[in-house]
């Protein structure tokens, strides 16, 4: 019996089938996760707003979390009159947010996506539908953070070199 495919072709075919299978699993997980969030948001949900100076990397559809639990989604982002980004967030109705709470844009990791984290305030009054979170913290841009660290290191090195020179001059 003659082989139809060479060993190299069979290896390539198996790799392709495995890659397709992994992609299908990823798509299924994403769809099921989004469906569960949409199921939570449908029915009893309300919209709240927050304005940020920078939302770099945050997209419509990203999570809104409270104490690490997904409680809603970012449904829109637009510039307001003062060129700040106004986010609209749809929150599951079973979660109430104290009116003095704050919102921050947080990264899942160095290369991960971003989400809005709500830090609970101490007020006994809750945000109503259409309410606004007043206290916000902008997204930290990784490149800016790295620049700050590098500049801090350069400054420290210059100070160390300057001190060494001054000490060398005083010993002479």
The vertex-60 CA angle with 55 and 63, nearest 5°, equals: 85
- Reply yes or no on whether the pLDDT at 18 is more than 80: yes
Confidence of residue 146 (pLDDT cuts 50, 70, 90): confident
Confidence of residue 170 (pLDDT cuts 50, 70, 90): low
**Residue 26: what pLDDT?**
74
Whole-prediction pTM value?
A: 0.60
**Residue 23: what pLDDT?**
86
- Among left, alpha and beta (phi > 0; psi -120 to 50; other), residue 68 is left
119-145: per-residue pLDDT in tens? Answer: 998 989 999 999 999 999 887 776 677
């Amino acid at each position: 019996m003659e082989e139809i495919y060479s060993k190299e072709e069979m290896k390539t075919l198996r790799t392709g089938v495995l890659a397709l299978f992994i992609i299908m699993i990823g798509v299924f997980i994403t769809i099921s996760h989004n469906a569960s969030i949409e199921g939570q948001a449908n029915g009893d949900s309300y919209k709240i707003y927050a304005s940020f100076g920078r939302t770099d990397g945050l997209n419509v559809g990203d999570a809104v979390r409270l104490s690490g639990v997904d409680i809603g989604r970012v449904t829109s982002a637009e510039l307001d009159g003062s060129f700040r980004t106004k986010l609209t967030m749809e929150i599951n109705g079973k979660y109430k947010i104290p009116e003095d709470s704050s919102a921050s844009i947080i990264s899942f990791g160095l290369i991960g996506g971003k989400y809005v984290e709500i830090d609970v305030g101490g007020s006994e009054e809750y945000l109503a539908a259409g309410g606004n979170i007043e206290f916000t913290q902008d997204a930290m841009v990784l490149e800016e953070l790295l620049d700050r660290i590098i500049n801090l290191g350069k400054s420290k090195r210059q100070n160390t070199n300057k001190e060494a020179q001054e000490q060398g001059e005083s010993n002479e």
